[in-house]
Amino acid sequence: MPPVRRPSTTAPVAVKPSPEHDSGAGWLGFYFIAQAFLAALLFIPGASAIRTATRVAGYGLAPAIGAWLWFNGGTHAYQSAIARLPRGRLPVRFPALPWLTGTLAWLVVSIFHPNGYSLTTACGQVALYYSVLSPAYWADKATASSTQIGRLMAVLLACGALSALLGIAQIYRPDTFNPPVIPALSNQYQGENVMFKTDDGRKLLRPCGLTDTPGAASLAGTTSALLGLAWLVRPSALWKRLAGLAAAAAGLAVIYFSQARFPLVMLAASGVILFAIFIIQERRAQAGLLAIVGSLLGVVALVWVARNVGTGVVERFAPLFAKNATSFYAESRGVFVEEAFNRIIWEYPLGYGLGWWGMIHSTFGDPARPSPIWAEVMWPAWIFDGGIPLMTLYAVAAAVAAWNSFKIALRYKSRELGFWAAVITASDVGILASCFSFTPFLAPLGLQFWLQSAALHAASERARAADSPPPTPNPPRGLRPQIPGKTP
């Protein structure tokens, strides 16, 4: 009789994969690098002829990456990360997606609005909306681990700091560092509305940064300042912290040089939120350093800029710190918000019609058929394009995304992911605040919002799955449990 092989009583041990698989910034970082490269093309003499093509490519790049990732099942690192997930531990979908899907559905319906400008401009406006929010659909397929978030923030900081530094250089040597063609200089004001006068009588163009739009460097300045301060207070090598300090100083300086007030308000809102989250996370030393250095840097940068271009910059920003700052806003950009909720929303509850304003209208519209409307703030822009449904769906989607980032920041208090979740939450709040003075969700700022928010959610899900206990292995087939005191 052959010997009976007794099964091993030692259960196989499930090996828990490391959640910190380093796959670099991947497609997440590549997108922002490609955006910077496309913008840099406009600094080549004669490249203004392809300006429209580069702008279309900049917005079309995000959906193109999404399509590639969709048809290929995500990156290889993502596929490996998903394959290592414990059985039954599927990632939770980005919570803003249902609201964004409803937004896109309503935009498609709005193409057939009877007052649409034209089918071309209506479809173009829908395509613009989709290109900005598309990272919400594909960022998870490009995120393999939580380590990618830190690298993504490093890429964002590098791009923002580069644009901010270039903006400062444009103040000192405009003939060398300004783009060869600046369309705003040929407007009805001959560029006078995008210039400011120094104390010694010089007229300076508001810095473009890595764009051909005067004043746009201020938006890069907010990213550079916020992320620079984050790298400064984050425990890391000394050179990284000093680089963060320099980037923050450059970001604040270029905001002052641009004389753009809302980016400074946006940065202040982000700083307050980041400080509050650090306190909640019990990172009191980092919160204190953030508050002290951020405040001092803001004052020092203002003094330095004032010494170089005059006290006019102080007068420009003084109303923000006055007691009547609220009334000052109500008399400036607040007029657009007030009109949106007091008149426009009631006259056009289902929208005015697509394609009547903005970049799509100026590019594909008929010059002989001028538009009677214009939008410089996000709230009336939503109402004009899709009425109450569009405004509600998109605003709720953005709020849900920011709230999700905040919950992740609270969930991971003592980990690096929690640190970057706090920074991304602060950035999200700043972008949301800019809706009262700008149209961020039809601009690269909105792309940044959706990409970083969705990528953070995906990284959180990878970390959550990796932190879960390994699955209990099933006993070998045919092996019955032993009853104490009985011999089989």
- Domain ranges (residues) in the chain: 26-466
Which burial class, exposed, middle or buried, applies to 274 when counting CB atoms under 10 A from its CB (0-12, 13-18, 19+)? Answer: buried
Nearest CA-CA partner of 409 in 458, 469, 456, 461: 456
Percent of the chain with pLDDT over 70: 88
The whole-number pLDDT of residue 6 equals 46
Q: For residue 285, what pLDDT band results from cuts at 50, 70 and 90?
A: very high
CA distance 77 to 485: 51
Question: What's the helix, strand, coil split of the chain in %, to 5?
Answer: 65, 0, 30
Q: 225 — phi, psi (to 5°)?
A: -70, -45
Q: What sign results for the dihedral spanned by CA atoms 470, 472, 474, 476? A: positive
The pLDDT tens digits of the residues spanning 205-256 come to 999 999 988 999 999 999 999 999 999 999 889 999 999 999 999 999 999 9
What pLDDT is attached to residue 472? 54
pTM above 0.85, yes or no: yes
| Alpha-carbon separation of residue 232 from 51, 290, 291, 417 (angstroms) | 37, 8, 12, 17
Q: Long-range CB contacts (< 8 A, 24+ apart) of 309-312?
A: 309/171, 309/196, 309/198, 309/199, 309/204, 309/257, 310/198, 310/199, 310/200, 311/199, 312/196, 312/197, 312/198, 312/199, 312/259
Whole-number average pLDDT of the chain: 86
For the CA atoms of 450, 451, 452, 453, what is the dihedral angle to 10 degrees?
40
